[in-house]
């Protein structure tokens, strides 16, 4: 059986980030495609009480699973769900071979900004047709069903609200492909955490109690031990809160701004999401900027000495070069956003945590992001080719920052700047959400991960 280059690109698109499950039969020529993947992943099936894995260059720490009797009685409904997902997978593969993108879509992804534009488009359309999310009703505001809609962690409140009014939401949990735990970690820190106590117990117990409530009331958590459940957290403490619930951290889809692999972020199942600072709760005044010819500053950064990277950056470049505008504090009378709009490149270094709103600010305002981060999984990197519209520099190359940027040909800079504007829609916050915006891109990343998990019942094994 021969594989076309198009087929290989499609499988490269779907598989490398995902928990892949029993619908894949790795035999003969199909097995060879795993050699094309850019990094390791699991092949895993949740199979009537046990999680069995085929190892692909990575240790499998997935726990054993035990189904409840209630879950077994629901197997026919479960089989229908899985059959629908199987059809979606087949449609993506089939259409990727023959599809000419001649549709009436208002937007058709295309260009080098995408790893595989055709596969992404087909997958997105399948998501729109099939994907259903059940939002657990349990829990009371302000910690549940509520979240911040302004400032740095605004994506938490925005997503919770958008999800609860979304067409993807279903009121019938038996029809859901995934289950959303509508908890805001930011609200946990504001209403449960005792300031300066350094005590995590109350917050972790609140999260654990919530999972205990829904797992005792519904069969769905126990059916998969959380593998088809997801949370979303932008606060830096999101990963730590998830550790209070072992199956949440090991099995569930965690959509996190703090997507740090050194802090157990697992890109095979977790979703990196962008940190978006909304001073007034909307993107008004944040979108757009002057053309490249009206950007006299080579590169800009302003920010405090948070974390290990920024002190190195300021040590080498603060007040050292007029073309490299690096500041701990902006001079009086200088606008932060005006500086972004005057600059060709904007530095996005990690602080105490890897996420930073500067990346999206650069994309919003036409300033090419310069990512200086270690162990960071970039948002939507399952779809977007970040190398085509950003510059990624390892920490060790900070002393060579100016040379690296000046060595980029003008033509390439203009291409990156243009492409950043073209993909900006994927990071925009809209109320109500619009197709292909940040809400739908987050949901698509979750869809991809669910697409490659199969929950099997006893009659199938």
Q: How many CB atoms lie within 10 A of CB 122?
A: 24
Alpha helices in 99-200 (DSSP H): 117-130, 154-164, 185-191
Give the residue among 12, 9, 21 at the shortest CA–CA distance from 452.
Answer: 21
For residues 71-96, give the mean pLDDT.
76
User: What is the mean pLDDT of the segment spanning 20-32?
Assistant: 25
pLDDT in tens, 346-398: 999 988 788 899 999 999 999 999 999 888 999 999 999 999 999 999 999 99
Please, which residues have CB within 8 angstroms of residue 412's CB and are 6 or more apart in sequence? none
Confidence of residue 141 (pLDDT cuts 50, 70, 90): very high
Q: Predicted confidence band at 171 (pLDDT cuts at 50, 70, 90)? A: very high
* Nearby residues of 367 by Cβ (< 8 Å), 6 or more positions away: 289, 295, 300, 340, 341, 343, 344, 345, 346, 361
Q: Rounding to the nearest 10 degrees, give the CA dihedral for residues 393, 394, 396, 398.
A: 30
Structure tokens at 241: 């809160």
pLDDT-based confidence at 453, cuts 50/70/90?
confident
C-alpha closest to that of 108 among 120, 97, 96? 120
- The residue-averaged pLDDT of 275-300 equals 96
The domain 292-427: what is its CATH number?
3.40.50.2000
Q: Are strands 391-392 and 454-456 parallel, antiparallel or unpaired?
A: unpaired
> Taking all residues of the chain, what is their mean pLDDT, rounded to a whole number?
84
153 burial level (CB within 10 Å; 0-12, 13-18, 19+): buried
Local confidence band at 5 (pLDDT 50, 70, 90 cut-offs) = very low
Residues across the chain = 461
Residue the block writes with tokens 């499988």? 11
Ranges assigned E (strand) in 13-166: 41-47, 50-56, 133-135
Segment 217-226 mean pLDDT: 95
34-62 residue pLDDT tens: 222 232 333 344 444 344 333 333 333 33
Q: What integer is the mean pLDDT of 107-117?
A: 94
DSSP 291: -
- Model confidence band, residue 183 (pLDDT cutoffs 50, 70, 90): very high
For 252, left (φ over 0), alpha (ψ -120 to 50), or beta?
A: beta
Residue 419 half-sphere exposure toward CB, CA atoms < 13 A? 22
The Cα–Cα gap between 383 and 386 comes to 9
Residues 6 or more apart whose CB falls under 8 angstroms from that of 281 comprise: 149, 150, 154
Query: Is pLDDT at 67 greater than 70 in this prediction?
Result: no
Phi and psi (nearest 5°) for 332? -60, 135
Residue with tokens 């992404």: 120
Residue 394 contacts by C-beta under 8 Å, 6 or more apart in sequence?
372, 374
Query: pTM for the full model?
Result: 0.84
- The domain ranges of the chain are 1-281+430-461, 292-427
Arithmetic mean of pLDDT, 413-441: 98
Q: Per-residue pLDDT averaged across 420-447, rounded? A: 97
Sorting pLDDT into bands at 50, 70 and 90, what band is 79? confident
Rounded distance between C-alpha atoms, residue 135 and residue 177, angstroms? 11
Nearest to 336 by CA among 316, 362, 314, 310: 362
For strands 454-456 and 271-272, give the pairing: unpaired
pLDDT tens readout for residues 257-283: 999 998 999 999 999 999 999 999 999
- Give CA 244 to chain center in angstroms: 21
């Amino acid at each position: 059986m021969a594989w076309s280059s198009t087929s290989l690109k499609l499988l490269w698109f779907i598989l490398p980030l995902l928990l892949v499950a029993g619908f894949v039969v790795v035999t003969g020529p199909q097995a060879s495609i795993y050699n094309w993947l850019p990094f390791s992943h699991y092949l895993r099936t949740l199979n009537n009480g046990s999680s069995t894995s085929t190892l692909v260059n990575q240790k499998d720490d997935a726990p054993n699973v035990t189904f409840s009797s209630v879950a077994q009685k629901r197997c026919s409904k479960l089989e229908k769900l899985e059959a629908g997902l199987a059809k979606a997978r087949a449609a993506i593969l089939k259409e990727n071979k023959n599809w000419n993108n001649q549709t009436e879509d208002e937007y058709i992804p295309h260009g080098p900004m995408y790893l595989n534009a055709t596969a992404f488009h087909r997958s997105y359309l399948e998501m729109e047709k099939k994907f259903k999310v059940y939002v657990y009703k349990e829990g009371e505001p302000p910690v549940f069903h509520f979240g911040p809609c302004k400032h740095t962690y605004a994506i938490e409140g925005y997503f919770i609200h958008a999800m609860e009014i979304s067409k993807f939401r279903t009121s019938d949990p038996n029809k859901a492909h995934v289950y959303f735990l509508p908890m805001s970690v930011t609200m946990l820190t504001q209403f449960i955490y005792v300031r300066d106590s350094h005590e995590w117990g109350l917050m972790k117990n609140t999260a654990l109690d919530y999972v205990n409530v829904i797992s005792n009331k519904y069969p769905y958590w126990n059916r998969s031990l959380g593998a088809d459940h997801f949370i979303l957290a932008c606060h830096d403490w999101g990963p730590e809160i998830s550790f209070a619930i072992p199956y949440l951290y090991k099995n569930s889809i965690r959509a996190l701004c703090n997507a740090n692999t050194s802090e157990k972020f697992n890109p095979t199942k977790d979703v990196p999401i962008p940190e978006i600072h909304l001073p007034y709760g909307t993107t008004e005044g944040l979108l757009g900027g002057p053309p490249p010819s009206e950007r006299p500053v080579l590169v800009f950064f302003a920010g405090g000495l948070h974390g290990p990277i920024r002190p190195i950056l300021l040590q080498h470049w603060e007040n050292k070069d007029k073309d490299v505008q690096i500041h701990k504090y902006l001079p009086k009378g200088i606008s932060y956003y005006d500086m972004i709009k005057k600059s060709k490149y904007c530095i996005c270094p990690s602080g105490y945590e890897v996420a930073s709103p500067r990346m999206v600010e650069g994309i919003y305002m036409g300033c090419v992001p310069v990512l200086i981060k270690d162990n960071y999984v970039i948002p939507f990197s399952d779809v977007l080719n970040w190398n085509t519209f950003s510059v990624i520099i390892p920490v060790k190359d900070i002393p060579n920052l100016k040379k690296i940027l000046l060595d980029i040909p003008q033509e390439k800079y203009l291409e990156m700047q243009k492409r950043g504007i073209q993909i900006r829609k994927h990071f925009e916050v809209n109320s109500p959400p619009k197709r292909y915006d940040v809400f739908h891109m987050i949901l698509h990343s979750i869809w991809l991960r669910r697409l490659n998990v199969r929950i099997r019942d006893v009659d199938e094994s």
